[in-house]
């Protein structure tokens, strides 16, 4: 059986991670617009507030900005700095109120509209956030960061094409806007345009090589575009910067898995699970990689771990069925394939696995019934016909056995055992000449098939 890797299955990095780095210094120390001259006392309090913000002592900074505004209520810079600091400590409603006060004094100040848009975005008020960014762009059309913020809001509203357009404008306005490059690349990657996404994300990574969110998006776009070795290198760089990043280790495992480097995939998956054991998908893929390595007992344990977290997981049940089949534990193999088929009754892989388990357990009539279901799902598979023929042969239904062996030979003329078993079947039907022809052809293809004695292989 084969399993496809789920691209972007559970580790999609936030498209907007680290999105808004302030376009200008977070806290300015000069007044841009106000209705009256700034008093020395208010200006001093504002400067001290800035100092506390730089030390990340936000409560003290907020206190000083408020004191500055008690001295001079129309001090736009202090209002803006207070709003930004409140936003930083996640008091978004209060921040928005301060920005609104400032905008009553300086209604065309693009930075104030931008800052209000950011606070609204944090509040998940995306329509209002988009409106605020548009107001910023009315006052300052070349404001790259406002275009980027507009793109983020549009994306959160599900307006993907408009978001891409906004991100492109942001990049056009400022080709060194790493946030816009990151957001444009990640959005394109999510829309299956990974090759183009790589171009923008590479630029973002060069501009800010220490940004894990950019590196994660870049690595994923590389993987999605089929550049696996580059993706592996990027994921290694990411986990070296963030060794406790469980998702990054899982992504690295996927990249190794897709390139069939199973030992490395196993190591990466194990590190991911050591950091976060509550990951059914990682446990599943660890089991698949272990199975490919031939470590069947370990694979069984991993599949069981997945099922403990997600009891009806189709792939884990199928994986267990396969693993038990390899161990020749056919009853357990059948049990797990049956469990998988409860989730997907017409899955040809699970049906074939169940049929094979029943056939190996000498339950020939049950096996034949299952393989008959597989035939219309896999009409061009010679091995399905071969196994159905063998099931019929062992129930004594030689006519049906012969018909299915012939169909297997039509689909794959060099299937030596199909010729041999057809010969055995023709003997049961008293067609000695036909049997000798099939034995001769089987021997021509595989010289080890010399004697017609014995049962069907």
Mean of the per-residue pLDDT values for the chain?
Answer: 90
Question: CB neighbours (10 Å) of residue 260?
Answer: 10
Q: Which of 11-25, 68-82, 413-427 has the lowest mean pLDDT?
A: 11-25
Asked if residue 97 belongs to a domain, the reply is: yes
What's residue 457's pLDDT?
A: 47
pLDDT-derived band of residue 217, with 50, 70 and 90 as boundaries? very high
- Count CB atoms within 10 A of the CB of residue 430: 9
Give the pLDDT confidence score for residue 35 in this predicted structure: 55
416: phi > 0 → left, psi -120 to 50 → alpha, else beta; which? alpha
Is residue 244, in this structure, part of any structural domain at all?
Answer: no
Residue 40 lies in a domain: yes
Q: pLDDT band at 98, cuts 50/70/90? A: very high
How far apart CA 66 and CA 184 sit, in angstroms, is: 38
Q: What is the pLDDT of residue 36?
A: 73
Residue 67: predicted pLDDT: 96
pLDDT value of residue 453: 56
Per-residue pLDDT, averaged over 77-105, amounts to 95
Residue 161 lies in a domain: no
Tell whether 381 is covered by a domain.
no
Q: Which of 22-36, 106-120, 368-382, 424-438 has the lowest mean pLDDT?
A: 22-36
Residue 124 Cα distances to 156, 159, 336, 457, angstroms: 9, 15, 44, 66
- Measure the CA–CA gap between 169 and 381, rounded to whole angstroms: 52
Residue 17, pLDDT above cutoff 60: no
**Does residue 51 lie in a domain region?**
yes
Nearest to residue 181, comparing CAs of 139, 209, 141, 157? 209
Report the alpha-carbon distance of residue 213 to residue 300 in Å, rounded: 34
The reported pLDDT for the residue numbered 230 is: 96
Kindly state whether residue 92 falls inside one of the protein's structural domains. Answer: yes
Domain count, the chain: 1
- Stretch 175-192: mean pLDDT, rounded? 96
- pLDDT higher for 74 or 21? 74
Residues 6+ apart with CB under 8 A from 361: 330, 331, 334
Question: What is the DSSP track for 85-115?
Answer: HHHHTT-HHHHHHHHHHHHHH-TT-HHHHHH
* Cβ-Cβ contacts under 8 Å for 216 (sequence gap 6 or more): 13, 17, 238, 247, 248, 251
User: Residue 454 — very low, low, confident or very high, per pLDDT cuts 50/70/90?
Assistant: very low
Q: What share of the chain is helix, strand, coil (3-state, %, to 5)?
A: 70, 0, 30
pLDDT band at 89 (very low <50, low <70, confident <90, very high): very high
Section 41-50 average pLDDT = 94
Contact 364, 395 (CB under 8 A): yes
Separation of alpha carbons 356 and 352, rounded Å: 6
Whether the pTM exceeds 0.85: the reply is no
Token look-up 């999105």 returns 19
pLDDT tier, 404 (very low <50, low <70, confident <90, very high otherwise): very high
> Tokens 């003290």 belong to which residue?
60
User: Are the C-beta atoms of residues 340 and 314 closer than 8 Å to each other?
Assistant: yes
136 and 143 in contact (C-beta within 8 Å)? yes
Quick one: pLDDT at residue 37?
Answer: 86
Residue 8: pLDDT over 60: no
pLDDT range class, residue 1, cuts 50, 70, 90: very low
Q: What is the pLDDT of residue 403?
A: 98
Q: How does residue 450 score in pLDDT terms, banded at 50, 70 and 90? A: confident
Q: Is residue 76 part of a domain?
A: yes
pLDDT, average across residues 420-448:
96
Domain holding 71: CATH number?
Answer: 1.25.40.10
pLDDT of 142-181, one tens digit each? 999 999 999 999 999 999 999 999 999 999 999 999 999 9
Instruction: Give the Cα-Cα-Cα angle 119, 123, 126 (nearest 5 degrees).
Output: 90
Where residue 14 falls among pLDDT bands split at 50, 70, 90? Answer: very low
Which domain covers residue 63, as residue numbers? 24-142
- Quote the pLDDT of residue 114: 96
Region 252-261: what's the mean pLDDT?
96
pLDDT at 455 over 90: no
Is residue 4 very low, low, confident or very high in pLDDT (cuts 50, 70, 90)? very low
Q: Can you give the pLDDT at residue 210?
A: 85
């Amino acid at each position: 059986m084969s399993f496809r890797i789920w691209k972007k299955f559970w580790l999609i990095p936030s498209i907007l991670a680290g999105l808004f780095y302030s376009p200008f210094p977070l806290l300015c120390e000069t007044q841009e617009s106000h209705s009256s001259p700034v008093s020395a006392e208010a200006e001093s309090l504002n400067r001290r507030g800035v100092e506390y913000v730089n030390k990340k002592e936000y409560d003290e900074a907020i206190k000083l900005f408020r004191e500055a505004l008690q001295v001079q209520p129309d001090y736009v810079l202090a209002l803006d700095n207070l709003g930004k600091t409140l936003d930083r400590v996640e008091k978004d409603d209060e921040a928005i109120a301060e920005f609104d006060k400032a905008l009553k004094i300086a209604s065309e100040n693009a930075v104030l509209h931008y800052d209000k848009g950011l606070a609204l975005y944090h509040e998940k008020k995306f329509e209002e956030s988009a409106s605020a960014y548009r107001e910023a762009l009315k006052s300052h059309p070349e404001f790259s960061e406002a275009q980027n913020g507009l793109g983020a809001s549009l994306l959160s509203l599900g307006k993907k094409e408009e978001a891409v357009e906004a991100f492109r404008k942001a990049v056009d306005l400022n080709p060194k806007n790493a946030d816009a490059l990151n957001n444009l690349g990640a959005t394109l990657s999510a829309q299956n345009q990974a090759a183009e996404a790589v171009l923008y994300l590479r630029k973002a990574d060069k501009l800010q090589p220490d940004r894990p969110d950019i590196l994660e998006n870049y690595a994923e776009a590389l993987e999605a575009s089929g550049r696996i070795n580059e993706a592996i290198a990027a994921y290694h760089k990411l986990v070296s910067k963030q060794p406790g990043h469980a998702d990054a280790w899982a992504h690295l495992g996927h990249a190794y898995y897709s390139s069939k480097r199973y030992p490395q995939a196993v190591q990466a998956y194990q590190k991911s699970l050591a950091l976060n054991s509550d990951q059914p998908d990682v446990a599943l893929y660890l089991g698949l990689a272990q199975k490919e390595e031939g470590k069947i007992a370990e694979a069984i344990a991993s599949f069981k771990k997945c099922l403990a977290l997600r009891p009806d997981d189709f792939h884990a049940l199928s994986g267990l069925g396969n693993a038990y089949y390899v161990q020749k534990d056919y009853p357990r193999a059948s049990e797990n394939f049956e469990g998988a088929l409860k989730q997907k009754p017409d899955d040809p892989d699970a049906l074939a696995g169940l049929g094979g388990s029943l056939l190996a357990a000498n339950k020939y009539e049950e096996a034949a019934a299952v393989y008959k279901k597989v035939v219309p799902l896999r009409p061009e598979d010679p091995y399905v016909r071969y196994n159905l023929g063998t099931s019929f042969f062992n129930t004594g239904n030689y006519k049906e056995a012969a018909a299915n062996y012939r169909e297997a030979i039509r689909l794959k003329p060099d299937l030596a055992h199909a010729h041999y078993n057809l010969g055995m079947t023709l003997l049961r039907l008293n067609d000695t000449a036909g049997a000798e022809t099939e034995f001769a052809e089987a021997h021509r293809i595989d010289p080890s098939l010399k004697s017609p004695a014995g049962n069907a292989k």
